[in-house]
């Protein structure tokens, strides 16, 4: 039971339009509390979750983007973003509100391969 497993959270949805991004974040924090080896992957519209400058006052919804910056306080420090997804959205690493590792598609695939558990949002 005390065996540490490698967990990967795969985030492919934009924030706010659906509840997936926020729910993923909740489960990430729970998993981290159990001292597991946690990584987060952002691809497709999931890269929008990390966009700087989110201002949600106008839609009267909680802006949860600052939480990504707090993840290192929970020892969640491995954030991976797919380069092809950034490119298709006109985004660069400088547009993101946290430090990430940018991976090509095949490297992202290899990261998924090496996990014990993959949770998809």
Nearer to other proteins, 1 or 59 (CB): 59
| HSE toward the beta carbon, residue 56, CA cutoff 13 A | 13
Interacting span for other proteins (CB under 8 A) from 2-10, 27-35, 46-54, 101-109: 46-54
Minimum distance, C-beta of residue 14 to other proteins, in the bound complex (Å): 5
Quick check: 32 and 75 in contact, CB under 8 A?
yes
Contacting residue, 3, 55, 66, 106, with other proteins by CB under 8 A = 55
DSSP at 79: E
Minimum distance, C-beta of residue 37 to other proteins, in the bound complex (Å): 29
Interacting span for other proteins (CB under 8 A) from 7-15, 27-35, 68-76, 106-114: 7-15
Quick check: 116 and 6 in contact, CB under 8 A?
yes
Binders of other proteins among 56-85, rule CB under 8 A? 56-59, 61, 63, 65
Q: Which of 23, 31, 99 is nearest to 68 (CA)?
A: 99
What is the spatial distance between Cα 75 and Cα 44, in angstroms, rounded to a whole number? Answer: 25
Nearer to other proteins, 53 or 73 (CB): 53
């Amino acid at each position: 039971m005390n065996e540490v497993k490698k967990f990967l959270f795969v985030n492919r949805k934009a924030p706010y339009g659906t509840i997936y991004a926020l729910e993923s974040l909740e489960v990430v924090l729970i998993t981290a509390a159990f001292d597991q080896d946690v990584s987060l992957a952002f691809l497709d519209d999931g890269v929008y979750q990390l966009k700087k400058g989110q201002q949600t006052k106008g839609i009267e919804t909680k802006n949860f983007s600052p939480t990504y910056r707090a993840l290192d306080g929970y020892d969640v420090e491995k954030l991976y973003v797919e380069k092809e997804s950034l490119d298709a959205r006109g985004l660069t690493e400088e547009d993101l509100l946290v430090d990430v590792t940018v991976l090509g598609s095949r490297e992202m695939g290899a990261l998924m391969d090496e996990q014990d558990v993959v949770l998809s949002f």
